[in-house]
Amino acid sequence: MVTEPTSQRHPSAADEVMELLTRFGTAWRVELVILALPIALGIWLSVRLGPVAAGAITASVVLAVVVPPPSRRLLARILHRASVRRHLEVAFASVTGVLSDRPPIIGAVVRTTGGDRVQLGLRHGTSIEDLERAGAVIASSLGVRDVRAAVDPAHQNLVTLTIIRHDPFASTGLPCPLVKAKGFDAWEGVPVGVDEEGEIVRLLLPEHNVLLGGEPGSGKSTALSVLLGAFALDPGVCLWLFDGKLVELAPWSTCARRFVGPDIALAISVLEELRGEMDRRYSELLARKVKKVAPRDGLSLHVLVIDELALYVAGTDKSLAGRFAELLRDLVARGRAAGIIVVAATQKPSTDIVPSALRDLFGFRWALRCATREASDTVLGSGWASRGFSAADSAPSTRGVGLLLHEGGIPVRLRSFHLSDGDIRVIAERAQRLRHDESVATGESEP
């Protein structure tokens, strides 16, 4: 039997108009609801009070919402979120393949200084790779600079999509709070930089060690100076400084117990001295019947900062380099409870330079700009680049931008504070005065 072609295959003009209206209504639902509310109020009032009174009351209600800044801002936020959602829906529909068939569910939209951050729920059969592959198409549909997707390590179906409208780190940013700080408590988080939303990122270091890496000129020594500035301003912290270049950490030498340049033999003997401190500290903890140092227990923190780690652990004299690496490994491995914090920086901590037995003990990682995704993974740990966290993504010209993997367990993109030579001098002089006053008060020798 021959069947007649059904009307489903050739939708009528009325069907097409209905479909168009439905699509328009779905896409503009928030705006339509916002528009419908005063219209509905006006009609309702007009039935009850007549058109003049209805017009006056409705206009007053609209003005009461639109004029005061808080409600105006709220309305602007709602409209902005709706616009981001609508554009994203169109962008997903424009991607050929699985994403247009099964578009991600769009969750919360948060405005950031550089654009927006959107929570997405991936549907069955899709993954972060689909989003990453479609990144350029989505960015071009949205008409933005870039989009970056990062998956929640605990839930592979939850993704944060960062829409970058302009580089949030392009401006010089906030001044480092340490420049004006009268002092600092090392048991508090060090303000190290500003994230993509303009919030200050704090790095809480007691009981942790941090490894910094990044290409030449990416801002490692500058980041070290910010950390050092904070610790120098706490007279309760004992500083041990190693600088393969001599000039980077030299301004802090007056606040340090030991300052070592590119002299591997001296570096080894100073590490042995610090290890002696660690062993004495454990005897002290045993005598006090406690397992670790704690705030205000009178036991100072020891902060060991090493710039150009490669010079010490991968120098030409293999036996000295091996000895240094072994001593440092011991300090990183056992120092935590004794109040020893190790902060080390090198350009690329690959295993041919930093032995993995040492590198893998650093819990916190700070990747400044890296030339490749692989180099970024070398600093942060393998696998982060494929989850959307690569320090190779930032512009080479914007120094100090990187990813910090610390407490939250997910790397945070930030730009470190910048301390000029003048700022460093000011902080170091203030720190030295604080340390002098403290030693006079306690009768102990400086630093």
Ligand X SMILES: Nc1ncnc2c1ncn2[C@@H]1O[C@H](COP(=O)(O)OP(=O)(O)OP(=O)(O)O)[C@@H](O)[C@H]1O
Positions that interact with ligand X (CB under 6 A): 214, 216-222, 347, 368, 399-400, 415-416, 418
Which option in Mg ion, ligand X, none does residue 191 bind, with CB closer than 5 to 8 A by kind?
none
In terms of CB distance, is 388 or 402 closer to ligand X? Answer: 402
H or E stretch covering 268: helix 264-288
State which residue has the least CB distance to ligand X. 400
Which option in Mg ion, ligand X, none does residue 298 bind, with CB closer than 5 to 8 A by kind?
none
* DSSP character at residue 251: G
In terms of CB distance, is 400 or 447 closer to ligand X? Answer: 400
Which option in ligand X, Mg ion, none does residue 418 bind, with CB closer than 5 to 8 A by kind?
ligand X
CA distance 194 to 198: 5
Which option in ligand X, Mg ion, none does residue 387 bind, with CB closer than 5 to 8 A by kind?
none
As measured in angstroms, the least distance from the Cβ of 414 to ligand X is: 9
As measured in angstroms, the least distance from the Cβ of 400 to ligand X is: 2
CA distance 44 to 53: 11
As measured in angstroms, the least distance from the Cβ of 221 to Mg ion is: 3
Q: How many CA within 13 A on the CB side of residue 20?
A: 7
Which option in ligand X, Mg ion, none does residue 218 bind, with CB closer than 5 to 8 A by kind?
ligand X
As measured in angstroms, the least distance from the Cβ of 246 to ligand X is: 12
CA distance 381 to 386: 11
162 strand-pairing partners: 117, 148
Tokens of 104: 């991600």
Q: Which residues of 149-169 are buried (b: 16+ CB within 10 A; e: fewer)?
A: bbbeeeeebbbbbbbbbebbb
Which option in ligand X, Mg ion, none does residue 340 bind, with CB closer than 5 to 8 A by kind?
none
Which option in Mg ion, ligand X, none does residue 11 bind, with CB closer than 5 to 8 A by kind?
none
In terms of CB distance, is 166 or 291 closer to ligand X? Answer: 166
In terms of CB distance, is 285 or 427 closer to ligand X? Answer: 427
As measured in angstroms, the least distance from the Cβ of 321 to ligand X is: 19
Contacts of 424 (CB under 8 A, 6+ apart): 225, 229, 251, 252
As measured in angstroms, the least distance from the Cβ of 361 to ligand X is: 22
Q: Determine if 378 is a binding residue for Mg ion (CB under 5 A).
A: no
In terms of CB distance, is 95 or 203 closer to ligand X? Answer: 203
In terms of CB distance, is 148 or 418 closer to ligand X? Answer: 418
Which option in ligand X, Mg ion, none does residue 416 bind, with CB closer than 5 to 8 A by kind?
ligand X
In terms of CB distance, is 257 or 415 closer to ligand X? Answer: 415
| CA-based nearest residue to 92, from 83, 82, 102 | 102
As measured in angstroms, the least distance from the Cβ of 247 to ligand X is: 10
**Total H helices, total E strands in the chain:** 14, 14
Total number of residues shown for the chain = 447
In terms of CB distance, is 120 or 249 closer to Mg ion? Answer: 249
In terms of CB distance, is 301 or 412 closer to ligand X? Answer: 412
Q: Would you call 50 helix, strand, or coil by DSSP?
A: coil
Tokens of 236: 């309760």
Binding marks (x or -) toward Mg ion, 194..233, rule CB under 5 A?
A: --------------------------xx------------
Long-range contacts from 165-168, C-beta under 8 angstroms, 24+ separation: 165/114, 165/115, 165/116, 166/114, 166/115, 167/114, 167/395, 167/398, 168/112, 168/113, 168/114, 168/115, 168/196, 168/197, 168/198
As measured in angstroms, the least distance from the Cβ of 397 to ligand X is: 10
- Beta strands 237-243 and 256-260 are parallel
Q: State the alpha helices, DSSP H only, in 28-162.
A: 29-49, 51-66, 69-94, 98-101, 128-133, 135-142
In terms of CB distance, is 221 or 376 closer to Mg ion? Answer: 221
Long-range contacts from 61-65, C-beta under 8 angstroms, 24+ separation: 62/38
As measured in angstroms, the least distance from the Cβ of 246 to Mg ion is: 11
As measured in angstroms, the least distance from the Cβ of 200 to ligand X is: 13
H or E stretch covering 386: none
Residue ranges in contact with Mg ion by CB under 5 A: 220-221
